[in-house]
Amino acid sequence: MSVNFYNEAGALIIGVDLHKYIIDARGVPVPFPLYPHLVSFSFHWPAFFTPKKVMTVTTDAHHALQGGMDYYLVLHAPFPILPAHALEAGVIMMVIASAGSKAWMVVHKVTVGGDKAATCLKSCASTNQDCCDPIDMHTNNLVLNFNSVKTEATLGDYLGSYLGTCLDAVINFGLGNELDKKTDNNVYKALLKHVWRRLPDINKAIPKVDNEVKDLKGESDDSVIDWAVDAPGKVSEMIQKWVDGES
């Protein structure tokens, strides 16, 4: 299927994320654990993980984006708007501080800047993996990226990308639950979640050392580390190769 490349001309047109919201009921705080929050932003949004924007490759004069492009500090607006309690100020600040919207669909064989290219799902339309309580979602938003540069996505690309993002959401859910048990410091939890989301890129930036050390399956240390820090990406690649008959 023909799909557009992601580039900075794109935008998340509309999304509905579920997060905590505290309304004011005549001075009494009434928390809603899962309240709709509207989100919308351009891919020129300044708060993102820079290495995923490829400065050396442009499509239609806009910088190309790699799979896993993650936008931070995404603004959220509770909707419908009900009177907010004073405590809501701290809640919405932490929602925005820990917010993220990630490009999850990739065409595995096509790379930009040395990593898999982020693409739309069909033609110019797509979705991102958005922050959401209790678990991240990729069916609650609409992305449009008009771009004359296209490629062809295979069944393996779709299934690999989909299962990879589902696993990523499950891991983030488990991490969030464990952090909730360990600490009440929301700033600390938000920082740890952001570091976790960037571990695959941090790992890639570390020079690899040739060695003969193997694990029980005969894999090198580097391979084991790659799986440990980026299981969703590795599963995505494995599924794509299996479905497309490349393994």
pLDDT of residue 31: 97
Would you say the pTM of this structure is higher than 0.95?
A: no
Q: Measuring CA to CA, which residue among 199, 200, 176 is closest to residue 188?
A: 176
Helix ranges (DSSP H) in the chain: 88-97, 155-182, 186-205, 221-229, 231-243
Segments making up each domain of the chain, as ranges: 2-243
Tens-place pLDDT, residues 163-179 = 999 999 999 999 888 88
pLDDT of residue 208: 58
Higher pLDDT, 85 or 199: 85
**Do 156 and 108 touch, CB atoms closer than 8 A?**
yes
Average pLDDT estimate for 23-30: 96
Q: Are strands 28-42 and 77-78 parallel, antiparallel or unpaired?
A: antiparallel
* Residue 49: band (very low, low, confident or very high) from pLDDT cuts 50, 70, 90: low
Tens-place pLDDT, residues 105-127 = 999 999 999 899 999 999 999 99
Over 80: is that where the pLDDT of 212 sits?
no
Tens-place pLDDT, residues 81-97 = 999 999 999 999 999 99
pLDDT of residue 74: 93
DSSP letter at 125 equals E
φ, ψ for residue 110, nearest 5 deg: -105, 125
CA pair distance 66, 69, nearest whole angstrom: 6
Tens-place pLDDT, residues 215-231 = 444 544 557 777 878 89
**Do 66 and 117 touch, CB atoms closer than 8 A?**
yes
* Helices (H) then strands (E): counts for the chain: 5, 14
